[in-house]
Structure 1
Amino acid sequence: MQTPELYRLFEIVLASIHPGELSDEAIEQLSHFFPDTLLLSALDLIDRECVIKYLPPWGRPHFHVLGSTGTYTVYPSLPLAPHAPAFCSCPAFSYAVLISGSQLMCKHVLAARLAERLARCVERQITSNDFASLLARQQASM
């Protein structure tokens, strides 16, 4: 099955999850898309409150996920990019999603998508100046 079709099916499963509640049935459905290790890692990131959702004044949220080796920038929804409708700055996303195509998304993107649906993101208001500083720090660390 092609990646855009898998994303559409994933979106249907994600939409079926009741906000704030992750049922056993939803976990079982998600396990059809992701290996157990990836799914459990994403859920662990949510449980440890590692998903930060920055809320800028212009309305489009910006996510950071605190991983084991760094903080990764996540864009969980890029509607104009059908073959990779999400992005993460982690090496696993580059290799497993973009290069080899062996995964639909990395654990950071999955954690951001699930945390947002479950209302489990750490939310922070951010000004335009704060956002510019955040981007500058990211560029400096690369």
Structure 2
Amino acid sequence: MADALAVVTLPTVVEELLNEMAAAVQESAQIPDEHLLSLKFIFGSSAIQALDLVDQQSITLISSPSGRQVYQVLGSSGKTYICLASCHYCSCPAFAFSVLRKSDSLLCKHVLAVYLSQVMRTCQQLSVSDKQLTEILMQKKQKA
């Protein structure tokens, strides 16, 4: 699931939970209740919000011919955020405040939704040119 070359990794317990969830989805096409409870225990209300984003199919993997990939997540507020799964980054204010500044959370709901959409295989896919991907990334920077 996670890129083997990623420098930044999630805590082992989260990695293991996501791997177990992926195996369960592959085997029975659903996530067992005990895994959902563990997810809620680790991430609190963000877990429910992330699952809601997955249910709404709000996550899109955007890839370009050069192999670059970013995730775009349509948040519950209607704003679109850029997520980089390889380094657990999101462009949302909650990530900057709760994850980076206060260290209250491991991830924001958008990044968690990205991982859950990978586990549940519900991520939408969009292929764009390298130039289009650069424009998508630059739009986000200019709006910030």
TM-score w.r.t. structure 2 length? 0.82
* Residue 5 (structure 1) shift: 8.8
The equivalent position to 2:101 in structure 1, one of 87, 99, 102, is 99
Matches of 1:136 and 1:97 in 2, distance apart?
A: 23
In 1: Cα distance, 2:10 partner to 2:128 partner: 33
* Residue matched to 1:34: 43
Judge which range, 21-30 or 42-51, deviates more.
Answer: 21-30
Q: Which runs of 5+ in 1 are unaligned?
A: 79-85
For 2:34 and 2:15, the matched residues in 1 are separated by: 15
Which TM-score applies when normalising by structure 1? Answer: 0.83
Q: 1:65 aligns with which of 57, 66, 73?
A: 73
CA-to-partner distance for each residue in 1:91-111, whole Å, 9 max, x for gaps? Answer: 111111111111111100100
Q: Distance in 1 between matches of 2:137 and 2:43?
A: 30
Question: Which amino acid in 1 is paired with 2:48?
Answer: L
1:11 aligns with 2:15: yes
Residues paired across the two proteins, number = 131
RMSD over equivalenced CA pairs, Å: 1.9
Q: Deviations over 1:108-139 (max 9, x none)?
A: 01000110121111111121121122123222
Runs of 4+ in 1 over 3 A off after TM superposition: none
Cα separation, 2, equivalents of 1:64 and 1:48: 13
Could you tell me which residue of structure 2 aligns to residue 81 of structure 1?
A: none
Alpha carbons of structure 1 residues 5 and 53: separation in structure 2 relative to 1, 3 Å: closer
Residue of structure 2 in register with 1:50 after alignment: 58
Bigger drift between 119-128 and 13-22 goes to 13-22
1:69 Cα deviation after fit = 4.5
- What percentage of aligned pairs have identical amino acids? 31
Structure 2 SS opposite 1:33: helix
Q: Does 1:76 align with 2:85?
A: yes
Which structure 2 residue ranges, 5 or more long, are not aligned? 1-7
Aligned residue for 2:5? none
Q: Tell me how far 1:27 sits from its aligned partner.
A: 0.4
Aligned residues of 2:59 and 2:72 also touching (Cα < 8 A) = yes
Matched residue, 1:82:
none
Per-residue CA distance 1:48-102 (angstroms, 9 max, x = gap): 1111111222334210111115111111222xxxxxxx11111111111111111
